[in-house]
Amino acid sequence: MPVIAVKKLNENAVLPTYGSEFAAGADLYALSDEDIVFAPGETKFVHTGLAMEIPEGYAGLVYARSGLASKRGLAPANKVGVIDADYRGEIMVALHNHSDMEQKIAPKERIAQLVVTPFLKAEFEERETLAETVRGEGGFGSTGTK
């Protein structure tokens, strides 16, 4: 299991934790002295108080917590946040209230999940033609619904 170096930028910050033995995402916790209130449709940056050293060749992907998103409408505004290996600043989560009701995040509440994953870096090369496929240029919905 890889080790991710984490720096607490605030003594009250909580290190990420996995909710179960086979969880893919580690929970990120809100760093706040009081409830953070979200009006309907509002986005706020929520501090975690943590900085990380993601290994080269990996990225930290910040996803919604399923219960928070489906039951309360709070999910990352950018859908999936990307933490690059060379970023050393504070991990912040831009939470958006998709519901039509005011929502609150309590201090040290779990607000998102972090998946550390390898990725392939590509070189992009311009070409006049691309290899043919059966699908071709078929886009949205072109493969059917069932």
Output the six-digit token pair for 73.
């409408």
**pLDDT tens digits for range 54-67:** 999 999 999 999 99
The DSSP code sequence of the chain is: ----EEEESSTT----EESSTT-SSEEEE---SSPEEE-TT-EEEEE--EEEEPPTTEEEEEE--HHHHHHH-EEETTSSEEE-TT--S--EEEEEE-SSS-EEE-TT-EEEEEEEEE---------S-----SSTT--TTTT---
Kindly report the pTM of this predicted structure: 0.90
Q: For domain 8-118, which CATH number applies: 2.70.40.10, 3.10.580.10, 3.40.50.1100, 3.40.50.970?
A: 2.70.40.10
Q: Is the pLDDT of residue 141 over 80?
A: no
Output the six-digit token pair for 77.
């505004």
pLDDT number for residue 96:
98
